[in-house]
Structure 1
């Protein structure tokens, strides 16, 4: 649920919740939403869901047939709302969940805009220098039988290698991309990659906090909507978006199913810090686990925003300095032949 589709899904959920609260017929609501939804794949899915509901299918089962559009959290909340007779309330929880996810996604996207712009600018400048400007100097100096300055010749050699070996390099890059996609498509490959992401310097804490924020908020919404803790844990595990954390949470669910308290199960798996464990323990003892989990997710969201700002504040200046130094080096390499040109002509 990222990007454009995530925004359209949020709008769809808001409209769905409002129209359901107005006591309109479910099929009529779905038909209207399908006509008003501009996103193609979402519109097609809603049309199919409406058709299946018309033939007597359960709404949650119909939504569950489109996991790329409606994830387990969406479907689970709708199912619990249908079972409890509070579909409108469940859809409001869906809206709150999707809205929070979109807020985090927008923050992460905005943080990535500047580095992406700097990198694209650098690549454009470097390509122009290596493939268009410097070869003209080479032709001039060759006509006078004079060698180019060392830095200029070095950049030209890079261009020659890239130009001559581009097919091989493209083939190798394509093969590596295919192998990477295949590896990440396997359970063991995805598990290894997600575990590695959590251990990365600077970016690891960001991925961890994002996963824990999604997990805790999803778990809170599920528990608040009268989903059993064990089932809610399994659904929230998938919502974390990290295979390593998902595996740990499935283990927590098994421990709870065997009789362990929620607090003890979390403590044994070492997912949360001491502060969050205290919040969960207090919520479990007071019978307000959902409220304390919401507080935990707010805590993770706040830490996530702080961490994103910290990483951005560290990466952006460093990236600017490195790219600036690289561009300055290329400019020097470009101007050295200009200074040597009178000697070459003489």
Structure 2
């Protein structure tokens, strides 16, 4: 049968890879599991592929089935046909190749199915360990953004109207709230896109994900979990490959391609090179500086003993079984450890927001108490100065704080420049003078002096300050 032209095959091959990377993962697992059962039951490969094609829901996977059937029908070995579809990793293809060449394809397919289940279990364990903290962090961020965006701007208006001296934490949160109220519709999507991009390049992108792995390895609890999962994978994959009769160097190469952790990929490449040179596992471990961090010394000793006794495949499978059980315990302990830490982090966030709201209110209550004590005290007698040189009937009484110009007794603060709800008041009637306080728009104060376009107002519980006439309104009495 004539084969497709190279250009068509190449295009179809690219489409297969693209389709696999976008959503056929579950169907791939379904294909492997059911192909194993069908071939074990005695069905021929072409009939099995045709049967499975009818079960595939995506056009991408059905197209791959057509390619697979065409390759097998043209005389290609099963392992080679599957290798061209790129739906199976290298170590699985190695198992199938050895199985087909030795007549043990059904048995090796069973081993492949078991490996797939183990890989699925390993990934599920890692996801479950990280799901809870990730969910708590995401919810905390969403709630924090919601409070800052919708609630804090309203609190800013209230606090401004109360004319309170705000603590730093309140000022910072109000500034964040005002920023989100004005630019949130642009800032929040940009922040999310930035976070997703950074996360992708640190933890997912193949060329840079070693950075994220290094970060995870620096966390003791996470490092322990990753180490146990990787050792379990090391034992199961290498043990199955060696038990199937694959040479140790080829098995190590398949193991290197199967791992997703850069540290272990480099380590497995070192083992492969040393074993190819004729060195034992013991010497290969000893020649790698950080081997004890990647493979604990007791495990190294077990591998060395298995190699010397000729029972290396069984030993590796036993190691995989032991560390598979350890991962279960570590995941449970990790959840117990992370839960109180996350609760403390959330508690700190709640306390911070609560303090930002409560401290100004506490300051207001303190000011009211002070003002009440001032109001209940009898007013001091007004000091007057008598000019004795004038006749008694023409004596003038001069206030100690004379009002130079007839002014309204009450003025209302207007919004500041740009419509701000807070307005600066100064120590002296000049723009060069020091800002000593901020007052809220809409507040009414007593004025006792007008000088050069500035009103001097009396702020209860604080004292006197100057405000420019451009930002006040006169209240007629």
Following superposition of structure 1 onto structure 2, how do residues 50-65 of structure 1 map, counting pairs within 5 Å? 50-65=69-84
Q: CA deviation at 1:145?
A: 5.0
- Of 281, 293, 299, which aligns to 1:262? 281
Q: CA deviation at 1:285?
A: 2.7
Which has a greater percent of helix? 1
1:131-185 C-alpha deviation (Å, 9 max, x unpaired): 1112112223445555556533321212345564965993897499479739985
Aligned to 2:266: 247
Q: CA deviation at 1:42?
A: 4.2
Seen in structure 2, the aligned counterparts of structure 1 residues 233 and 317 have a Cα distance that, compared at 3 Å, is same
Question: Is 87-96 or 260-269 further displaced after alignment?
Answer: 260-269
> Is contact 1:137-1:337 (8 Å) kept?
no
Aligned to 1:19: 38
- Of 317, 325, 345, which aligns to 2:340? 317
> Is contact 2:79-2:93 (8 Å) kept?
yes
Cα distance in 2 for partners of 1:192, 1:328 equals 33
1:183-209 C-alpha deviation (Å, 9 max, x unpaired): 98575x455654564344332222222
Total equivalences in the alignment: 344
- Of 120, 127, 132, which aligns to 2:150? 132
> Is contact 2:256-2:264 (8 Å) kept?
yes
Following superposition of structure 1 onto structure 2, how do residues 54-203 of structure 1 map, counting pairs within 5 Å? 54-67=73-86, 69-143=87-161, 146=164, 150-161=168-179, 164=183, 170=190, 174=194, 177=197, 181=201, 189=208, 194=213, 197-203=216-222
Unaligned runs of 5+ in 2: 1-19, 369-439, 445-477
Unaligned runs of 5+ in 1: none
Aligned to 1:46: 65
Q: CA deviation at 1:64?
A: 2.0
Q: Is 1:277 aligned to residue 300 of structure 2?
A: yes
> Is contact 1:6-1:102 (8 Å) kept?
no
Seen in structure 2, the aligned counterparts of structure 1 residues 156 and 5 have a Cα distance that, compared at 3 Å, is farther
Aligned to 2:47: 28
What secondary structure, in the 3-state scheme, does the structure 1 residue paired with 2:350 have? helix
Seen in structure 2, the aligned counterparts of structure 1 residues 23 and 309 have a Cα distance that, compared at 3 Å, is same
Which has a greater percent of strand? 2
Q: CA deviation at 1:34?
A: 2.0
Question: Considering only CA atoms, is the larger Rg found in Structure 1 or Structure 2?
Answer: 2
Cα distance in 1 for partners of 2:228, 2:154 equals 51
- Of 281, 298, 305, which aligns to 2:328? 305
> Is contact 1:77-1:222 (8 Å) kept?
yes
1:290-340 C-alpha deviation (Å, 9 max, x unpaired): 110001112222333333333322222111111122123323434556677
1:53-105 C-alpha deviation (Å, 9 max, x unpaired): 223333222222343x3111222221121111111111100111111122222
TM-score (norm 1): 0.84
Which one has more relative contact order, counting CA pairs under 8 Å at least 6 apart? Answer: 1
Seen in structure 2, the aligned counterparts of structure 1 residues 291 and 149 have a Cα distance that, compared at 3 Å, is same
Cα distance in 2 for partners of 1:193, 1:295 equals 30
TM-score (norm 2): 0.63
- Of 303, 320, 331, which aligns to 2:354? 331
> Is contact 2:231-2:320 (8 Å) kept?
yes
Q: Is 1:233 aligned to residue 248 of structure 2?
A: no
Cα distance in 1 for partners of 2:202, 2:304 equals 41
> Is contact 1:149-1:337 (8 Å) kept?
yes
Cα distance in 2 for partners of 1:314, 1:88 equals 44
Let me know the Cα RMSD of the aligned residues.
3.6
Question: Is 106-115 or 162-171 further displaced after alignment?
Answer: 162-171
